[in-house]
Amino acid sequence: MTAQFQDRVAVVTGAAGGMGRAIALAFAAAGASVLAADVNEDGGDETVATITKDGGRAQFVRTDVSDANAVEAMVAAAVTAFGGVHCAVNAAAIELEADRLADIEEATFDRIVAVNLKSIFLCLKYEVRQMLAQGDGGAIVNIASTNSFRPQPHQSVYTATKHGVIGMTRNAAIDYAGDGIRINAICPGSIDTPMLRAAIDRRGRDPQEVANRLSLIGRFGTVDEIAKAALWLCSDESSFTMGHALAVDGGYLAR
């Protein structure tokens, strides 16, 4: 798989930490040039510094993925820096809820939808346009969630956005498969990230109880396990996989 990414350019959103950073590092380790995007400049710079220290090629672009101009500029930056876009993983997301639906503020709804769902539309729009212009296809992965299929309490807006990610992924896959652009989704379960830990703390839960409840093996997943799935979906090894929602969840959805 490493050789397959030697001459490829990967765009990764949410690359300042968590799953996004792990995915950016994995692409770089596999030989790709990486355009790392995030609103967190310090974290994005750290991701790029880690990649370049190890001999990889990467550039950070501060990007608000809910803003069309910023997303268009992100894709243009990848083309300017590295010559094109061959792979993209849209991983930026937020989770802000701790209440039932009737207690959620409208501003919270708008913010979650903008970052978690509108961003997928915008990233797909400009990533696909660039891949069509290049004329040699590509692969895009959207990060969804096990909430796309099985909601958790007090996450009504987050769950709605992740349902939307699956729907948009499947429709986009239908629209662009004939152009050689494969579009899939990953549905992470309980992955050990700062966002998960913050959600656990916000609800006053015991981490081990959560791990036991949300997996079959009593542990959280790792960001590296998500990164490996993303690389596979962007590689030629998954050439017959499109419109798919790949659960990486410790068996949670099987229960």
Place of tokens 């992740």: 162
Residues 6+ apart with CB under 8 A from 135: none
Do the beta carbons of residue 161 and residue 204 sit within 8 Å?
no
List, edge to edge, every strand of the sheet that includes 33-38. 57-62, 33-38, 9-13, 87-90, 138-143, 181-188, 245-248
Q: Which helix (H) or strand (E) holds 11?
A: strand 9-13
d(CA 224, CA 230): 10
Catalytic (active site) residue 176: no
Phi and psi, residue 248, nearest 5°: -120, 85
Residues 6+ apart with CB under 8 A from 174: 243
- Tell which residue, 111, 235, 250, 110, has the closest CA to residue 184: 235
Q: Work out whether strand 138-143 and strand 181-188 pair parallel, antiparallel, or are unpaired.
A: parallel
d(CA 81, CA 61): 11
Amino acid at 107: A
Instruction: Using alpha carbons only, give the angle 246, 247, 253 rounded to the nearest 5 degrees.
Output: 140
Tokens of 63: 């990007």
d(CA 243, CA 204): 37
- The residues annotated as belonging to the active site are 158
